[in-house]
Amino acid sequence: MGIAGASGATEQIAEILDKYPGGIKLVDSIEYLVSWARANSLWPLVYGTACCAMEMMAAGSSKHDWARFGVEVARATPRQADLIVLAGTIVEKMGNNLVTLYKQMPAPKYVIAMGSCAISGGPFYYDTYSVIKGGDRLIPVDVYVPGCPPRPEALLYGIMELQEKIRKEGRRNPWNIRNVLKTPFLDLHTEAKLDWAAKEKEQESVQKVAQEQFKIKNPDYKAPKAKRIVKEKFEDLPRKARAGKNVLNQDFFAALLEKFPDIHLFRQSEIQPVTVSDLGPEYLLDVEIPKEKYLELVQFVKEDERLQMDLLLQLTAIDWQDHFDILVQLLSTVNDHTMFLRCSLAKDEPAIETITTIFQGAEWHEREVYDLFGITFNGHPDMRRIFLNNDFPGHPLRKDFEDPTRVVKRPY
């Protein structure tokens, strides 16, 4: 009564009881009872985003058993939960959903940020376009549990700290929602480096005085010389030869040149079928093809009886500053042969034909390339972003991508 989250009616009842003898003690006792019950009956939301979620699961399992602390009922709906444990990395695309979950929770509600990623972005603080630099930039956080990842015992200690906070809530210390962080991102590494350099400079001046005094007191002192450790020699291990392929590189390349005489190996235009065998059996053919022949060549290597490149392993892109390369990796499950097809695209109009009519699995690969590089695939059945929000400014895997509101550049 009269505590955090109480209605106006209970506040009025508390004010009325305060006027009578012993009323204050009665109100304080009821407040203590309600706060004690609330602190020992936390209902966490079933919510985990990355590796810290495994530690959170361990905290709830039989060995640690957070039910001993009253964190008994993990709920799958925010309307029946009063605690969110941010366990893992929070990316921008899930940010709006997290805020929605928090808003749907009934008050009073609490948040524990578990692990470095949930606290500050962790190892993804620098050079990352999608990771939120801490959950407290989206929703207010009550308790921080550091670590990468923190052990289950650390989470249990964080729960105990939260319970202590809840027990102290009441009329004199009401529950309220803290403000989320709006401060700009800082280059913490450079700041720490400068602070460390200043401390080292100060220490060097102290050491210099001490060294001069030592030389005066010990004029005949000579520093001992370290003995050189003899480098141990190891025997050369024989290299294990790789098993041969069912189709040799020279035969494969010859079949391609027979159909498409204007192709060549990437950065090795002088290599011919008679000399490609000199590259060794472990060399993967990396064939550079013109944009106009791209679709036809992919169709050919799949349907040709000698080649039978029937499986698409991956389709990605490379940003070479002045142009893009579309890179397709194919595998023949029949001949156990792998190859790369590479096609150059101009940066002013990065577009190429889709190969979804040949390999249906290319649909997601091409959407990823479109999302991260901005390369359009003509004829694609669903050409839209796949990872990022539709309003995301730019394409983050391009070398010219800059967004200081999201990305902190690594200073080293």
Residue 74 lies in a domain: yes
Residue 228 lies in a domain: no
Say whether pTM exceeds 0.85: no
Question: In terms of domains, do 145 and 291 share one?
Answer: no
Q: In the chain, which stretches have pLDDT less than 50?
A: 1-5
Looking at the fold, whether 142 and 269 belong to one and the same domain comes out as no
CA distance 120 to 112: 13
As a whole number of Å, the CA-based R_g of the chain is 32
Tell whether 257 and 148 lie within a shared domain.
no
Residues 6+ apart with CB under 8 A from 27: 1, 2, 14, 17, 18, 171
| Per-residue three-class SS string for 282-341 | CCCEEEEECHHHHHHHHHHHHHCCCCCCCEEEEEEEEECCCEEEEEEEEEECCCCEEEEE
Q: What is the pLDDT of residue 242?
A: 58
Do strands 285-289 and 337-346 pair parallel, antiparallel, or not at all (unpaired)? Answer: parallel
**Considering the domain boundaries, does residue 197 fall inside one?**
no
Residue 396 lies in a domain: no
Q: What is the CATH number of the domain that holds 340?
A: 3.30.460.80
Would 324 be classed as within a structural domain? yes
In a domain, 178, yes or no: no
User: Which of helix, strand or coil describes residue 59?
Assistant: helix
**Contact partners, residue 112, CB within 8 Å, separation at least 6:** 83, 84, 85, 86, 141, 142, 143, 144, 145, 155, 158, 159, 162
Q: What is the CATH number of the domain that holds 99?
A: 3.40.50.12280
Domain boundary among 167, 190, 214: 167
| pLDDT score of 243 | 57
Q: Which residues does 317 contact at the CB level (< 8 Å), separation at least 6?
A: 324, 325, 326, 327, 369, 372, 373, 375, 397
Q: Evaluate whether residue 51 is within a structural domain.
A: yes
Give the pLDDT score at 284.
87
What domain count does the chain have? 2
Question: Tokens 């290299």 correspond to what residue?
Answer: 239
User: Residue 2 has what pLDDT?
Assistant: 39
In a domain, 404, yes or no: no
Last residue of a domain, one of 167, 193, 224: 167
Residue 15, domain extent: 8-167
CA distances from 216 to 109, 205, 210, 220, 222 (A): 68, 17, 10, 9, 13
294-342: pLDDT as tens digits = 999 999 999 998 889 999 999 999 999 899 999 999 999 988 889 999 9
Residue ending a domain, choose from 167, 197, 216: 167
**How is residue 20 written in tokens?**
């009578």
Cβ–Cβ under 8 Å, residues 139 and 104: no
Asked if residue 261 and residue 153 are part of one domain, the reply reads no
Q: Are residues 274 and 151 in the same domain?
A: no
Query: Both 159 and 20 in a single domain?
Result: yes
**Same-domain pairing of 155 and 261:** no
